[in-house]
Amino acid sequence: MPDVMSAEILLRERGLRVTPQRQSVLRLFLENAGQHWSADQVREKLLPNMPGLARGTTYKVLDELVRGNICEELPTPQGTAIYGLRLAPHHHFVCRACHRWFDVGVEGLDQLAMVGGPPDAVVDEVAVTFLGTCGDCG
């Protein structure tokens, strides 16, 4: 089972103890690269194989994966955070119709400069979100 292995290796690499819950959540994201889901969606997908998976546990595991720099947590206008794999920095395109998030690259990022903002602010990351309509919805 190569996917189980890579989830296990990744957890160890990021200094996280390997638990069945962490492995299952991470494997789900590794097997569905580029997908972004809410905690409830993650739980729904895992429930058939992990009937005892509690809602709180799902949130806890996702939070641990975010803090271990494996996953990203993205706030949405709907109020529910969604989660995705973030093994490398990337940006997003969000479809306004189906609310799906897609990982994208950005060209010309080095030309961006912040205008205004709090005095003496130090920028350490730029996250670009493109909004529009995906091909399925357009």
Site for Zn ion, rule CB under 5 A: 84, 95, 97-98, 103, 134, 137
- Nearer Cβ to Zn ion, position 18 or 33? 33
CB of 116 to Zn ion, least distance (A): 27
- Nearer Cβ to Zn ion, position 8 or 103? 103
- Nearer Cβ to Zn ion, position 60 or 91? 91
Overall size of the chain counted in residues: 138
CB of 107 to Zn ion, least distance (A): 18
Radius of gyration of the chain from its Cα atoms, rounded to whole angstroms: 17
CB of 109 to Zn ion, least distance (A): 16
Q: How far is it, in rounded angstroms, from Cα 130 to Cα 125?
A: 16
Sign of CA dihedral 35, 40, 43, 44: negative
CB 35 within 8 Å of CB 79: no
CB of 115 to Zn ion, least distance (A): 26
- Nearer Cβ to Zn ion, position 118 or 138? 138
Phi-psi region of 82 (alpha: psi -120 to 50; beta: other; left: phi over 0): beta
